[in-house]
């Protein structure tokens, strides 16, 4: 379950048209493998009371990882793949059985991540 900082439940997926277009290029098996992996990451972070920083999950080299099919689903465009990945993380937080709250980070620097950070509530 996903909530904003004001405790409002988030039930929509942003950028739905983009998501649908990219998702159509991802097999169901690859999609489920990605969501399963993200749920494991959320579960572990929740148990350890640590945040999930979307931009830290896949790393810079997705080759040979469960995330590589995202890159191919986006026409081998890494910038677009990162956007789609962010939506998949959002979706994984929404579908997780525990309550998660997100904040948007302004800009990536060495000590501050870019994108969304999720916290267990």
Stated pTM of the model: 0.89
Q: Can you tell me which residue has the tokens 């159509």?
A: 24
Residue pair 18/83 in contact (Cβ under 8 Å)? The answer is yes
Over residues 23-70, the pLDDT tens digits come to 999 999 999 999 999 999 999 999 999 999 888 898 888 999 999 999
pLDDT digits (tens, 9 = 90+) for 110-119: 555 567 899 9
Task: Give Cα 66 distance to the centre of its chain.
Answer: 13
Q: Percent of the chain, pLDDT > 90?
A: 72
Q: Which residues contact 114 (CB under 8 A, 6 or more apart)?
A: 55, 105, 107, 108
Which residue ranges make up each domain of the chain?
Answer: 2-120
């Amino acid at each position: 379950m996903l909530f904003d900082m004001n405790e409002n439940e988030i039930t929509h997926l942003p950028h739905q048209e983009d998501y649908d277009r990219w998702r159509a290029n991802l097999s169901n098996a690859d999609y489920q493998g990605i969501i399963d992996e993200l749920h494991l990451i959320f579960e572990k972070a929740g148990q350890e009371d640590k945040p999930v920083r979307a931009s830290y999950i896949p790393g810079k080299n997705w080759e040979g990882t469960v995330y590589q099919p995202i890159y191919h689903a986006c026409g081998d465009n890494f910038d677009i793949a990162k956007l789609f990945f962010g939506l998949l993380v959002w979706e994984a937080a929404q579908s997780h059985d525990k309550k998660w709250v997100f904040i948007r980070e302004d800009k990536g620097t060495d000590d501050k991540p870019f994108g969304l950070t999720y916290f267990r509530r």
